[in-house]
Amino acid sequence: MQRVNPFRLILKAILIFSLINLAYAAFNPQIGDWSIYNWLVPGRPRLPIEGTWNDRGFGVAANQQIGALFSAHQINARALPTPGVHVILLGDSQTYGAWVPLEETLGARLDAENLVACSRPVTIENLSHPGPSVLRDFLILDRALQRAPNSVIVWMLEPNAFLPSSESLLFEDSSGASKAALEAYGLSRYADLPKVNASFFDRTLWSQRGEIHAWLDLQMFGLYWAASGDDEWVRYNQVADLRSFEIPLSNEPTPSVTWHGYLPADAPNLHGLYSVLDAARLMAGTRPAMLVAQPIFVASGPGSDIRYNSLYPRWAYDDFRATLAADAARNSWGFLDLHGALPSSDYVDEDHLNGDGEAGLAQILAPDVVQLACSFKQTG
Amino acid sequence: MTLPQIAMLAVLAAGLGRLTAGRQLAILAVSALAVFLLQPAQSPPALEFWIPAATLGVSVLVWAVTAPPEARGWKGNWPAGLVLAAVILLADLNHYFKLESIYLVDTPRIRYVILGVLVFSGLVLLLARRRRPLSGLYALTISGTALILFVLKIPSISAALLDALARNAGVPAASLAVSPSTLLPAVGIQWLGYSYLAFRLLHTILDRWSGRLPGLTLAEFASYVIFFPSFTAGPIDRAERFVKELRSPLPLVGDDWINAGGRILVGLFKKFVLADSLAVISLSEALAPHVNGAGWLWLFLYAYAFRLYLDFSGYTDVAIGMGRLMGIQLPENFTAPYLKPNLALFWNSWHITLTQWFRSYFFNPVVRRLRSSSRSVPPWSIILMAQVGTMVLIGLWHGIAWSFAAWGLWHGVGLFLHNRWTAFSADRIPNWVRTGRVEQALRGAGVFLTFNFVAVGWLFFSFSSPLSAWHTLMRLFGAA
């Protein structure tokens, strides 16, 4: 038998490995666009929150390709009634409704109302995702408008969505579309974020292995979704129950003025990410939109003169409300301030609603959604 | 084992395979270090040091009991003893080096470890001085080895022991949650690899007792029982075969490098890509209540069946590939088990080395004993007792619980029925059935039936109680 030189063998292996990686990067297959959802299994009514899990733990969906998440959503296949209006619902965990069953979420409640706006049926597309991030919402909006151009926008927001740290909630995107969107709308300073970067090296098979794994898992979660009608695989197995992030209700917040280390004097310096709203206005064009200062639990005991609750000192939330209102006015968008709109009994914790809360919120929002959809001028 | 651990050990295996001098001791040292490295985290953390140390200790003790006088000499064994002691001390030194990324930081104080090693060495020397083999000592060692296995495998005892140890250490006992990432829930003390270690040790003691085991040096014996590629998940090799290749490694020529490396890569793909992906939808006690409809239940049951196979056989592929890099051909553990047309052939190709172990040390002796019994025992009842007994014991090897016993019973009864059917049909099936397409079709039907019988059996294996497994079984057939 011929003796094999292991060094030559290793060299050849490295060469083949490099060639496969280069070829993968050159072709840059968008595997996120391939999906069993809306084909073998129904599309989901919410964007998936499951990421990759393994023996070391559970990764949230931020390690998913944004394309794969959209391919899993019903918006990817849902036909818009003619004539009709889509409502793109953006927001964080409160809007997502991680604390209530799927049928009790805000999106499901509004959809179940079978709203009709000026003789046009309204369909709700819940495109919220846990974790507040206006930049992530912007990139979701970019995708959503490509899939559902006949849409109006309802954007639920809270101050944390404008914190620089919220950038960590972006999804992966090897297609370069997120980077292109940020550049196209003057947000290119964010295009260097690792998760929206799409350099040649980012597109190699080696760099993409985590995303491929996450994509494969996402297809598997689809089978569970089809078999159970439960779109939260993470909930049944209790690997990463979102409820573990609960902030217990307290009527007596610690009377501190700091917010993530910031003081009232820092407020003007925290407005950088509000420019994302202006960019979104440009992206939306003539489509009507409404910004909503989402409801939060308002404490009434000692310390509540300084803070609304343990999440927000009054100055931070009030500055947010004022800035959001001004931005909405500047962009000719609607604005709804719901900060104290719901009773404390509607909250499961300081930031999240129970089933009654979601129902109450839907009731408050429904007339405004109808009005917004009425103002939409069909283009197609 | 994690991916980085496997990668590191594969590189080490390739290096060890090229050594021309000191190979045996180097394999022993790496294997002993791997015992510490691979031990899973638990609380109290001191167990992460003491359990691997006990693994080495038990191995040395059993060697001292089983080695014949000519293999027990000081001259031939002091280097291996030194290597094992050095590995224990090196592991303990991390208390001072604090290399958390490599190994446990909070190891015991070195003075206790040195004292322990010295006392233990004295005990081993005392054992090694005896002249004649002592049956009582063999029986005692077998009982001790089995008792540890027994304690570890009874969840309530193991958990109570862990609680007691944790209380004594003033820390909370680790409560390991059942998650889809675990094929079997981990409860109580996690003594990594002890199920396999115990069976290798029992094999050596029983074979020494019957005079079949050749004399092995400490380096050979310890390398056999803790050989790092097969330490955690088998296969369970035979000592005499293993040591033959440890002494004279198979040459790595021609495509051997490619085959060994390819085997590792195939194993990694099976475990980390296929099995881990199927884990999401593998039927489990937690998942079953959420699933609507028998069709989905069947699909998820199949997912579990393939996940189990891919996970387990993937690790075996890695072990065989690593072994081959070191010139040691470990035995196969799986040969396309789900493609077998009957249950007997399935058990000849699923976890082969474990089945062979039970065949050698339980099934065959029981059958011999019953056949030679003075009372006349009908052949069918001998088969029934031996097969059911063997399969229930194989079930209990995974954990002493009703569900594993039920799984063993399921297969024991299945094997017995197959045996009776084979005996019944031997002279009754016409020849035309045994030819051409009819035979192929029957074989296909056999594969289908066998696979589904095995798959349904996994319900008992993976659920915590036979009752909940039975309830899901009924749902599979639309009866609940």
**pLDDT digit string (tens) for A81-122?**
777 899 999 999 899 987 888 999 999 999 999 999 999 999
Is the preceding omega at residue A83 within 30 degrees of 0, hence cis?
yes
d(CA A218, CA A52): 8
Contact B459, B283 (CB under 8 A): yes
d(CA B201, CA B224): 10
B276, B216, B284: which is closest to B472 by C-alpha? B284
Percent above pLDDT 90 for chain B: 61
Q: Do B292 and A223 touch (CB under 8 A)?
A: no
Give the three-state DSSP class for A335. strand
Q: Select the more confidently predicted residue: B241 or A191.
A: B241
Contact B330, B230 (CB under 8 A): yes
Residue of B nearest to A221 (CA): B280
Q: Select the more confidently predicted residue: B432 or A262.
A: A262
What pLDDT is stored for residue B12 in this prediction? 94
**Tokens describing residue B11:** 């590189």
Instruction: Determine the average pLDDT of the residues in A72-89.
Output: 85
What pLDDT is stored for residue A225 in this prediction? 94
- Residue A3 contacts B, CB cutoff 8 Å: yes
- State the smallest CA–CA distance between residue B120 and chain A in angstroms: 36
d(CA A242, CA A233): 11
Q: Do B296 and A230 touch (CB under 8 A)?
A: no
Q: Do A54 and B181 touch (CB under 8 A)?
A: yes
What residue type is assigned to position B60 of the chain?
V
Q: Do A227 and B280 touch (CB under 8 A)?
A: no
Sign of the dihedral defined by the CA atoms of residues B294, B297, B302, B305, in that order: negative
What pLDDT is stored for residue B330 in this prediction? 97
Q: Do A4 and B276 touch (CB under 8 A)?
A: no
Instruction: Determine the average pLDDT of the residues in A290-318.
Output: 93
Instruction: Determine the average pLDDT of the residues in A257-284.
Output: 92
A243-252, B115-124, B154-163, B287-296: which range is least confident on average? A243-252
What pLDDT is stored for residue A4 in this prediction? 65
Q: Select the more confidently predicted residue: A58 or A144.
A: A144
Contact A175, A198 (CB under 8 A): yes
Spatial strand order in the sheet of A289-293: A116-117, A120-126, A85-90, A151-157, A289-293, A334-337
Q: Is the pLDDT of residue B480 over 80?
A: no
A50-59, A116-125, B162-171: which range is least confident on average? A50-59
Give the three-state DSSP class for B308. helix
What are φ and ψ of residue A313, in 5° steps? -70, 155
- Measured CA to CA in angstroms, residue B347 lies from B218, B351, B458 at distances of 34, 8, 14
Q: Do A213 and B280 touch (CB under 8 A)?
A: no
| Sequence-distant (≥ 6) Cβ neighbours of residue A290 within 8 angstroms | A152, A153, A154, A155, A328, A333, A334, A335, A336, A368, A369, A372
**Tokens describing residue B234:** 């088998």
d(CA B128, CA B61): 9
Q: Which of A1, A9, A224 sits opposite B258 (nearest CB)?
A: A9
- Highest-pLDDT range among A171-175, A341-345, B433-437: A341-345
Mutate to test the interface with A, among B252, B290, B306, B472 (most CBs of A within 10 A): B290
Q: Is the pLDDT of residue A57 over 60?
A: no
Give the three-state DSSP class for A303. coil
Instruction: Determine the average pLDDT of the residues in B121-138.
Output: 81
Length of chain B, in residues: 480
Q: How confident is the model at residue B182 (pLDDT cuts 50, 70, 90)?
A: low
Q: Do B273 and A213 touch (CB under 8 A)?
A: yes
Q: Is the pLDDT of residue A239 over 50?
A: no
Chain B neighbors of A233, CB-CB under 8 A = 280
What pLDDT is stored for residue B102 in this prediction? 66
Q: Do A220 and B281 touch (CB under 8 A)?
A: yes
Give the three-state DSSP class for A120. strand
A43-47, A244-248, B236-240, B322-326: which range is least confident on average? A244-248
Q: Is the pLDDT of residue A14 over 80?
A: yes
Q: Do B280 and A224 touch (CB under 8 A)?
A: yes
Q: Do A238 and B179 touch (CB under 8 A)?
A: yes
| Sequence-distant (≥ 6) Cβ neighbours of residue B76 within 8 angstroms | B217
Q: Is the pLDDT of residue A243 over 70?
A: no
Percent above pLDDT 70 for chain B: 95
Chain B neighbors of A3, CB-CB under 8 A = 253-254
CB atoms within 10 A of CB A17: 12
Residue of A nearest to B269 (CA): A213
Place of tokens 């069946």: B305
d(CA A201, CA B373): 73
Indicate the pairing of strand A289-293 with strand A151-157: parallel
Contact B475, B459 (CB under 8 A): no
- Residue A112 contacts B, CB cutoff 8 Å: no
Q: Is the pLDDT of residue A367 over 50?
A: yes
Instruction: Determine the average pLDDT of the residues in B29-41.
Output: 91
A1-10, A194-203, B322-331, B398-407: which range is least confident on average? A1-10
Q: Is the pLDDT of residue A357 over 80?
A: yes
What angle separates helix B218-226 from helix B74-97, to the nearest 10 degrees?
A: 50
Upper half-sphere CA count for residue A68 (Cβ side, 13 Å): 30
| Sequence-distant (≥ 6) Cβ neighbours of residue B287 within 8 angstroms | A224, A236, A237, B180, B281, B300
Chain mean pLDDT for chain B: 90
B52, B114, B55, B46: which is closest to B86 by C-alpha? B114
| Sequence-distant (≥ 6) Cβ neighbours of residue B366 within 8 angstroms | B385, B386, B389, B390
Q: Record the pTM.
A: 0.88
d(CA B139, CA A17): 55
Q: Which of A3, A217, A233 sits opposite B253 (nearest CB)?
A: A3
Mutate to test the interface with A, among B281, B298, B311, B476 (most CBs of A within 10 A): B281
What are φ and ψ of residue A151, in 5° steps? -135, 155
- The question of ipTM being above 0.90 is answered as no
What are φ and ψ of residue A253, in 5° steps? -70, 150
Place of tokens 């794969």: A68
What pLDDT is stored for residue B183 in this prediction? 61
What are φ and ψ of residue B234, in 5° steps? 75, -170
Q: Is the pLDDT of residue B179 over 50?
A: no
Residue of B nearest to A215 (CA): B277
Contact A355, A134 (CB under 8 A): no
Chain A neighbors of B286, CB-CB under 8 A = 236-238
Instruction: Determine the average pLDDT of the residues in B4-32.
Output: 92
What pLDDT is stored for residue A343 in this prediction? 93
A163-172, A304-313, B167-176, B197-206: which range is least confident on average? B167-176
Q: Which of A13, A55, A220 sits opposite B277 (nearest CB)?
A: A220
Element (H, E) at B451: helix B436-462
Q: Is the pLDDT of residue B271 over 90?
A: yes
CB atoms within 10 A of CB B100: 10
- Residue A245 contacts B, CB cutoff 8 Å: no
Contact B121, B85 (CB under 8 A): yes
Contact A151, A85 (CB under 8 A): yes
A53, A208, A234: which is closest to A130 by C-alpha? A234
Instruction: Determine the average pLDDT of the residues in B221-234.
Output: 95
| Sequence-distant (≥ 6) Cβ neighbours of residue A30 within 8 angstroms | A65, A67, A174, A175
List residues of B whose CB lies inside 8 A of any A CB. 2, 14, 18, 177, 179-181, 252-258, 261, 273, 276-278, 280-281, 286-287, 290-293, 296, 299-300
What pLDDT is stored for residue A342 in this prediction? 94
Q: Which of A1, A221, A236 sits opposite B254 (nearest CB)?
A: A1
What pLDDT is stored for residue B175 in this prediction? 46
DSSP state of A51: E
Tell me the per-residue pLDDT of B331-361, one tens digit each, with 9 for 90 and over. 999 999 999 999 999 999 999 999 999 999 9
Q: Do B254 and A53 touch (CB under 8 A)?
A: no
What are φ and ψ of residue A90, in 5° steps? -110, 150
Q: Name beta bridge partners: A120.
A: A117
- State the smallest CA–CA distance between residue A72 and chain B in angstroms: 16
In angstroms and rounded to an integer, the radius of gyration of the C-alpha atoms of chain B is: 24
**Tokens describing residue A255:** 């009377």
Q: Do B287 and A213 touch (CB under 8 A)?
A: no
